[in-house]
Amino acid sequence: MTFEYAPALEATSVVKIKSEYGLFINGKFVPAKGGKSFPTINPATEETLSKIAFASASDVDKAVAAARAAYSKVWSKMPAAERGKYLFRIARILQERAREFAVLETLNNGKPIRETRDIDIPLAASHFFYHAGWADKLDHAGMGSSPKPHGVVGQVIPWNFPLLMLSWKIAPALATGNTVVLKPAETTPLTALLFAEVCQQAGLPAGVVNIVTGDGSTGSAIVNHPGIDKIAFTGSTAVGKGIARAIAGTKKSATLELGGKGANIIYEDAAIDETVEGIISGIFFNQGHVCCAGSRLLVQENIQDELLEKLKRRISMIRVGNPLDKNTDLGAINSAAQLAKIRELADSGDTEGAERWSPQCDLPSKGFWYPPTIFTGVTQAHRIAQEEIFGPVLSVLTFRTPQEAIEKANNTPFGLSAGIWTDKGSRILWTAKHLKAGVIWANTFNKFDPASPFGGYKESGWGREGGRHGLAAYLKGDH
């Protein structure tokens, strides 16, 4: 007999999902105009979890008006230290209700409970704590003696880290004195709606945070609304370009956090076992639904065989399955559409002559699933080396010299993240200096901290989120 881990399911009784949710406008849940709604599902089972109000342009209108009124009458007049108190309160409530948020996020997103419990929710709370501390210190943030908020901020977030992306957006916006109209992703609205309840629980003045659910048309109504002063968007490069076009010539400013095709560079002297773990975390964390994923493995050719052997052995140990199981490492793909996109791109790897490898693994029959996959023999000319797959699919390329590693790493329209693995400090510094990527990790990957600015070069986006740089995006300096 071998050591089989018996199912260790996280209890779902901790969270009460309502049968339907309205839009959160001016501190209250209200139905959408015309009562239009759409279902939201659990991607691991395809079961419907709830019915969500679909916000039309006139609903967005109401949300923007509520945010404007809250801005001019309450939020902009409140002493900054008082604003900070609300953020501290929200942070503490997120910690107190962490288990509820973790289970709900796992149910609606498909990601493993280990990740929502240990990463998503604690990080979301830490973003509120971090920015709470800034609220009354903005005069000393290096943006002039008295920087001012923009006013009403429109925020559109993706489905890969629903609550975490919400906190990356809302925490700095509120800390700097802006009010918010936020649209969660179409497939993952539930934790944002639970967050709306947290706003009520914290006694946040009505209208400071408004959450409108819907699809791309709802997002577009926010972006194009004349009452919005600033846009913050995280999502695909295609949509990001559309936003840039839409706001050209208007007074609106924007931060765009878009796609990536991160290079994870492995030098011959890297600590091999920890490097293997870093590669795993780089591409299989969150099913690879990570804009900064290390989706291009650049390995020095002389250690390729040894590294791949260890990597394959380690990938074989990844536990794929029920996201609610505390021992699951790789959960469900978030939607049928995303699964189709992953399949299409991975299949192009086959037809373009790369060599596919996946471990033997039994995938559940219901829900959206894709096995951990690596492609070897990939070159720059393959689509899977150029396009963002946003799934658990790793492209392996080789290099011979550090110069070649840099050239290949930078040979992409993106520039969000990169990883460097070597035992030699001087090589880390040399490589980091030459990489064109917004976030570079050395001997680790996918580490996040609210104090550390995050964002990309080139088609990976505009501006930074987190840290002092992230605050700047929500303030108008007086210099």
Identify residues 97-116 at the interface with other proteins (CB under 8 A). 114
**Of the candidate residues 1, 11, 248, 381, the single one contacting other proteins (CB under 8 A):** 1
Stretch that binds other proteins, among 50-58, 143-151, 267-275, 351-359 (CB under 8 A): 267-275
The answer to whether residue 199 is catalytic is no
Q: Residue 312, exposed/middle/buried by CB under 10 A (0-12, 13-18, 19+)?
A: middle
Rounded to an integer, what is the distance from CA 300 to the centroid of its chain?
Answer: 30
Rounded to an integer, what is the distance from CA 103 to the centroid of its chain?
Answer: 18
The answer to whether residue 292 is catalytic is no
Is 12 a binder of other proteins (CB under 8 A)? no
Identify residues 112-151 at the interface with other proteins (CB under 8 A). 114, 118
Identify residues 72-101 at the interface with other proteins (CB under 8 A). none
Is 340 a binder of other proteins (CB under 8 A)? no
Out of 105, 186, 257, 459, pick the active-site residue.
257
Is 269 a binder of other proteins (CB under 8 A)? yes
Out of 105, 186, 291, 292, pick the active-site residue.
291
Stretch that binds other proteins, among 54-62, 246-254, 273-281, 345-353 (CB under 8 A): 273-281
Residues 6+ apart with CB under 8 A from 202: 86, 89, 90, 93
Is 61 a binder of other proteins (CB under 8 A)? no
Closest by Cα among 83, 299, 288, 239 to 174: 83
Is 323 a binder of other proteins (CB under 8 A)? no
Contact string 442-471 vs other proteins (x = CB under 8 A): -xx---------------------------
**Of the candidate residues 19, 145, 249, 317, the single one contacting other proteins (CB under 8 A):** 317
Is 274 a binder of other proteins (CB under 8 A)? yes
Is 312 a binder of other proteins (CB under 8 A)? no
Question: Which CB sits closer to other proteins, 200 or 327?
Answer: 327
Binding region for other proteins (CB under 8 A): 1-8, 114, 118, 269-275, 277-278, 317, 326-327, 423, 443-444
The residues annotated with a catalytic role in the active site are 257, 291
